[in-house]
Each structure stands twice: as structure tokens, then as C-alpha cells.
Amino acid sequence: MMLNHIRPSDQLWGRAEVYNYLPNIRIVHNAIYIPWSHGGPWGVFTSEGKPIAESINYRDAERAVSGPEPFFPPEFPENLDFFPDTMMYMGYLNPHYGHFIINTLPRFWPLISGNGKVPPLCCHVVGEVRQFLEMNFSRTVFEKLNVCDSLTIFDRPLRISTLLVPDTSLHEQFGVHRIFGDLCRRVGRDFWRDDEVDSISAPLYLSKSRLKIGVGHFADEDRIVDKLAEAGATIFFPEEHTFADQVATLARHKTIVGTTGSAFHTSIFSAPGRNIIGINPTEFTNTNYTMLDIINKNQSRYFLPNDVSYSYEGEFQTTHHVADPEGIASDILKLLS
């Protein structure tokens, strides 16, 4: 097949290891909890004030910290309030949809592991848990896990008698434990029906053309959208739909197309075996997509526009510019034929 405007994006950014065993849970006695502070000290620490590695989100083989990094205050009072019971630490609740799936949700695997009763949960979050749960995706996911009323944050530093700290079940751009797929299926399974899977033959295009702010987008994506719509594709704007509706819609359409972004992560909650065609902004495919595709048994292909440039102004961190949006749409249609 001759493609004139896009080419395969075969190089991987990161690794995509898959583990068949459960992540570790570290037991920390007399742990120290420091409340969230933007730009200030926060996190959970050993009794000596050392960071607990399992509580931190790392990225790729270099283990660079992903997201806000916990740190211990340089001056710290010795006499702290004491919490006498056992708690389990669920990390930092990230309000960004993509980071919520990649960095926050993977810590909740003990809830489905079957390894005994889970103790009370504590976490860190900007503001209050109730504010975090005002977002549709976070409330829906946590309702399915039955944790909306059991996440505790503390407003002062304190010592916790015994803190259980689960390691994540998905290490960003590095590796994923299969139990993360089980966790996501537990969340999403009630939102799609077996008799509706692949019931719509038209491809589903996940469009960012109505997004007002974000990490990255393609300028003139609406021209790609228009040409695909004329050819019969279903155009879908994820931010205009509930989380449950997104999961159900992905299940009904066998083929999912779009410029890559967080909306692609929703496939992990939907019916397995999605056929995915993603348009990347660079020659490298982020292995977060690769790992989720493996876990959900998706058949995925990723491509890069032949002629792409970048700018860094406006409400998006990066805007990607292509010379011929309609030409890209034509190549996508060839892939769909």
C-alpha cells in the first residue's frame, strides 16, 4: 500500500515489559505523612524521613520522577500526632485524565488482588477528595472500585503506625503488570455489552478539534475530520461525553482512529481487541500506548506525518502543523479500506 503523507512510527519511546506477577507491597512502620503542598514538602517517608520509593511515580528505564516529586522538609518537628492503626497509601491523585490512568489508578490493584482485607486508604490530592471526585471520570472509576468514601487525606504532618505502600502496577514507559488490565476490566465491564461489540462498521475518529486546552494537538485537524466524515467515519469528541459513554462507544466500533492522546487510553476499559490507528506527532510511539494495547489485545498501528513542524504558543503545550491535512485523511482512508 502506497502512503503519500504518513509513514509508520515504528520506534518506541520507552520500554513495554509485561509482568505476570503481582507488584510488591512495602510495609513501613512508624511512617511519616506530610500533607500536600504545591512547591513545598509533601509525601510519605520512613521513620527517618527517607522517601519511600514505592510511593513515587517513575518514568522509563532511567527512573526519572514523573509528576510532582515528594520531598521532606529541612526543618521538622520531632513530636508529631500519631495515627495508631494500619493504612494503605494510594499515592497522589492526578486530576489529568491521562495521568490518572497511567500514574494514579495503577496503585489501586490491591483492591482486586484477593490477598485479604484492604485497610483504610490514604492519599495526597490537590484540595479535597470531594473536589477531585467532581470530575466525571474520577467519580465513575472510584465508584466502581467502591472507594469514594474511603480515601483519607490528612491536614497536618503525622506518624502512621503501619503504612502499606503498594508499588504501581504500571511503570510509565517501562512495564505493566497484568493485574492492571484486570483492574481496568473490573471498572469498565458494566459499560459495554457483548451483543454490541463491533456492531458499528464505521471507524470511530477521536477528535481533539474542539478541545480548548491540552498537552498537544494538530492545527487544522478539522480538515482531517471533515474528509473522514464525508467518507462515513463517526466523529467523536471524547470530552463531550461521560466516561461510561466513551467506554461503550469504543466497544461498538471495531476500528478506532485519531491523533494520539489520553483518549486512546480509554480502550483499556473497553472490549478487548480494538483495531487502533494512531497518528503520532513524532517518529516515536510512547510505550504507554503499547502497554495498554498489549494488555487489551488491541491490534494497533501508529504513523507519523511526513511533513510536520511544531510551535509552542497558545493553550496547548505543543501545536503540530502538517502541510496537507486532507492528504493525511486520504492515507487514513487507504488504511481503512
Q: Is 180 among the domain residues?
A: no
Q: Is 86 among the domain residues?
A: yes
Co-location of 203 and 74 in the same domain = no
Structural domain count, the chain: 2
CB atoms near residue 278 (< 10 Å): 22
Q: Place 236 in a pLDDT band, splitting at 50, 70 and 90.
A: very high
Backbone angles phi, psi at 226, to 5 degrees: -60, -45
User: Residue 42's domain spans which residues?
Assistant: 23-168
Q: Is 112 among the domain residues?
A: yes
Higher pLDDT, 309 or 288: 288
Q: Place 277 in a pLDDT band, splitting at 50, 70 and 90.
A: very high
Provide the pLDDT for residue 219.
Answer: 87
Output the CA torsion sign for 335, 257, 19, 247.
Answer: negative
Q: Give the three-state DSSP class for 163.
A: strand
Provide the pLDDT for residue 315.
Answer: 84
CB atoms near residue 101 (< 10 Å): 23
Q: Is 184 among the domain residues?
A: no
Q: Is 181 among the domain residues?
A: no
Q: What is the pTM of this model?
A: 0.94
Q: Place 224 in a pLDDT band, splitting at 50, 70 and 90.
A: very high
Residue ranges of alpha helices (H) inside the chain are 97-99, 129-132, 136-144, 178-188, 221-230, 243-252, 287-295, 325-336
- Is residue 123 scored above 90 in pLDDT? yes
Higher pLDDT, 153 or 61: 153
Q: Are 119 and 86 in contact (CB under 8 A)?
A: yes
Q: Is 242 among the domain residues?
A: yes
- Is residue 64 scored above 80 in pLDDT? yes
Residue that terminates a domain, selected from 153, 168, 183? 168
Q: Place 313 in a pLDDT band, splitting at 50, 70 and 90.
A: confident
